[in-house]
Structure 1
């Protein structure tokens, strides 16, 4: 974990800027829970297999109904896969939430030990409230990164890859149209995420300044009251809170652009599949069962894409 972001010292000067954090710095925290994460990865693979089997079974059910062939145990097999996928998903969610909480706990312990061992000169260069903010608010971002699709990327990648391969076998033309629509949407999301990163860093800095202002005001409350400066201090701290609010609004504004991008991508993809796919069914290029299976695989793409967008935003 990189050290807290630079903040103005007690005398108004800025502390030396530390190195930018990297993914490599997350590895020690994740390795502490490698067994749990290995179980999560295995569950992701099993869940992906159970999820990918469902559209194929639905297509087989439709084909048998069209050809007046008995379904046999096919319906029960489909129900079993649905239940299995749901159970795996629930247990995997629990493990991820627990691991995310443990990672935050580990990072807080290390950061507390790091702060309390700093040279005294560092405390002169940094405000106490800012350091406290790093232990409290900054570490919770690790939880968001871990639980927003970072750890279960294995299962999502398998679902995405399996769905794309199956769709390629069903109808390469339809798949090509979907790739164009989704690719353009993802490119736009990546572009917007750079703005989220800058706004998020600014928000964390403003929250640190807010904590510092509150800590300074509370520690000097007797002097402030004696000097009749209560209203002035309230205004100063409120200004910091307003700056943090403004940074949060900027994040919300950019995030609000990402949500409709993903929604539009799904809607346009569905319209393309139904329009072009309906035409190809009418021309005899594919049958109804294949089109329905393709549509289900299209909806399966939503989960990994949503996780990827969420992970990009969180990271």
Structure 2
């Protein structure tokens, strides 16, 4: 029995399942990936036909050569023609193999583009319940298996089927009796492979799920390696990852066992067929029913018939493995994107408003598939969820209740309250990471659900609480929202947030790397870099979630001056736990347990709202 917990940001952590294995894919779902390369595949099929013709002609020529030798006649050009067919067959096979390998890589590329394009457009709530490592595994490991469809037999089996049919017809003409015995042996092998095919598909999908679990565990351990080391939990994390590695190994062994039953079937069929044909054929040659030349030709045609049969068996294994992986890929692709999910949204009618941002009776609760508010009083681990269990009705966790307030244009609004009061959720709703369960969030009087998400977010600069920094350079982080920003603009904004030292300590300047998750920067530097990114974009609305929490007094003062300078004629909504950040605000909204209990200036709230007075007494460090 696996268990799942929810971390601070709501990401489910568990072992023994991904939580969304998805149904097994159908072959029809694989066709679009193949049809993208239909011109090349058509040419490969033509090559297969030519290769089949060259192969089928060889036994006939060998039969003619033997007949001429028996008669003592000259071979003439037959030998050279036979040599030419063998060389041509080899060249065709080699070029066909190259085209299939190249096309297989194209299928992997297109599937990765499609998967990543869908994945990065999913609603934020999907990332709250999915493990990063498992998603990465779908992009890397699962898509790779699609290559095997082309490189391990499917198209070759199509061409091989022509060889199979041609050989079958030729064998029927040469000796129907020997053909009947051969078909009987082959029929048994075909039935065996058919019975094993479904088991291969199921086992392959389960194996990919376990690989996803392993990738998720490795990502979890590496992303928190400093915390793990500091807690002396390295051995426990290694053991946990090893458990998932063993799970992946076991499923891989299961696939290997089933595949091991398929692989020798073609070989056994060929050996038994060859022995039957050799024994019975020898008897028929002795009785005069057929000639030696005919028996040799029959045996060569037998080899030609068995070879594509082996390719077909290989195709069964590779296609079923690919369909198992494709099921996991399609499980993501079939999810609605943020925009597609808007089809069921009914925005409220616009109203006249002087507010840049306003909340109108907003209520919101995270469901079981969404995260809880950071530091929320709701216990995230209270109800472990079995990832592989059947879907259950979402359990709502109320975070905001009938929240109403407005942030006038060009003013600064501070959100204060105890941890878990719903402050960060308000910013998430403004960014439309989630939609409210009731009420409306408005931008200039217009329900933001009526706006295009990109249009909405282009007007908002958002600095998250944890101030994430992307792996790459300082420049890449700064210009994430403004790719056309000049070097001078980047340097100016870095000076404004007192990050000049970061530029000077590395000769690469703006191109200096920041490391994975900004590990080469201090906590305060990461926070200032995230703020600089928002300031560089200079949007009309800025959302700052505890943007100065990691700064010392001097840097906080410098940063406040930079924000004050850029805030002129802009609307700021700030979450702060320091009194110095709050007192100068045009208005302060006090939240407690998801409800607005006071709105006003610092002096007004000191007199009217006991909770604010208490928070102010403790410097708002609740």
For the criterion TM > 0.5, the same-fold answer is: yes
Task: State the TM-score, normalizing by the size of structure 2.
Answer: 0.48
SS in 2 for 1:118: coil
CA displacement at 1:198 relative to structure 2? 2.0
How far does the alpha carbon of each residue in 1:222-268 deviate from its partner, in whole angstroms, 9 at most, with x for none?
A: 22222221111110010000110111111112222222222211111
CA displacement at 1:14 relative to structure 2? 6.6
The answer to whether residue 121 in structure 2 is matched with residue 117 in structure 1 is yes
CA displacement at 1:17 relative to structure 2? 5.8
Instruction: Tell me the distance in 1 between the aligned counterparts of 2:205 and 2:53.
Output: 39
Task: State the TM-score, normalizing by the size of structure 1.
Answer: 0.94
CA displacement at 1:314 relative to structure 2? 0.8
Q: Which has the larger radius of gyration?
A: 2
Q: Which residue of 1 aligns with 2:198?
A: 194
The answer to whether residue 173 in structure 2 is matched with residue 174 in structure 1 is no
What are the ranges of 5 or more consecutive residues in structure 2 without an aligned counterpart? 5-10, 320-622
The answer to whether residue 303 in structure 2 is matched with residue 299 in structure 1 is yes
Cα gap change, 1:51/1:220 in structure 2, threshold over 3 Å: closer, same or farther?
A: same
CA displacement at 1:190 relative to structure 2? 1.9
What are the ranges of 5 or more consecutive residues in structure 1 without an aligned counterpart? 1-6
SS in 1 for 2:75: coil
Tell me, yes or no, if the aligned pair for 2:24 and 2:205 is still in contact at 8 Å: no
Q: Which residue of 2 aligns with 1:160?
A: 164
Instruction: Tell me the distance in 1 between the aligned counterparts of 2:18 and 2:98.
Output: 42
The answer to whether residue 104 in structure 2 is matched with residue 100 in structure 1 is yes
What does residue range 73-152 of structure 1 map to in structure 2 within 5 Å?
Answer: 73-152=77-156
Q: Which residue of 2 aligns with 1:46?
A: 50
1:231 to 230, 235, 238: 235
2:12 to 5, 10, 13: 10
Cα gap change, 1:196/1:70 in structure 2, threshold over 3 Å: closer, same or farther?
A: same
Give the number of the structure whose residues are more often helix, by fraction: 1
Instruction: Tell me the distance in 2 between the aligned counterparts of 1:17 and 1:89.
Output: 38
Instruction: Tell me the distance in 2 between the aligned counterparts of 1:274 and 1:200.
Output: 39
Please, which moves more after superposition, 243-252 or 289-298? 243-252
Instruction: Tell me the distance in 1 between the aligned counterparts of 2:190 and 2:182.
Output: 12
Give the number of the structure whose residues are more often strand, by fraction: 2
Instruction: Tell me the distance in 2 between the aligned counterparts of 1:127 and 1:142.
Output: 23
CA displacement at 1:19 relative to structure 2? 4.2
Instruction: Tell me the distance in 2 between the aligned counterparts of 1:294 and 1:284.
Output: 15
Cα gap change, 1:16/1:202 in structure 2, threshold over 3 Å: closer, same or farther?
A: closer
Q: Which residue of 2 aligns with 1:4?
A: none
Whose RCO is larger (CA < 8 A, sep 6+)?
A: 1
1:268 to 267, 272, 276: 272
Instruction: Tell me the distance in 2 between the aligned counterparts of 1:269 and 1:302.
Output: 9
RMSD: 1.7
Instruction: Tell me the distance in 2 between the aligned counterparts of 1:14 and 1:32.
Output: 30
CA displacement at 1:281 relative to structure 2? 0.5
SS in 2 for 1:253: helix
What is the number of equivalent residue pairs in this alignment?
Answer: 309
Instruction: Tell me the distance in 1 between the aligned counterparts of 2:18 and 2:31.
Output: 30
CA displacement at 1:303 relative to structure 2? 1.7
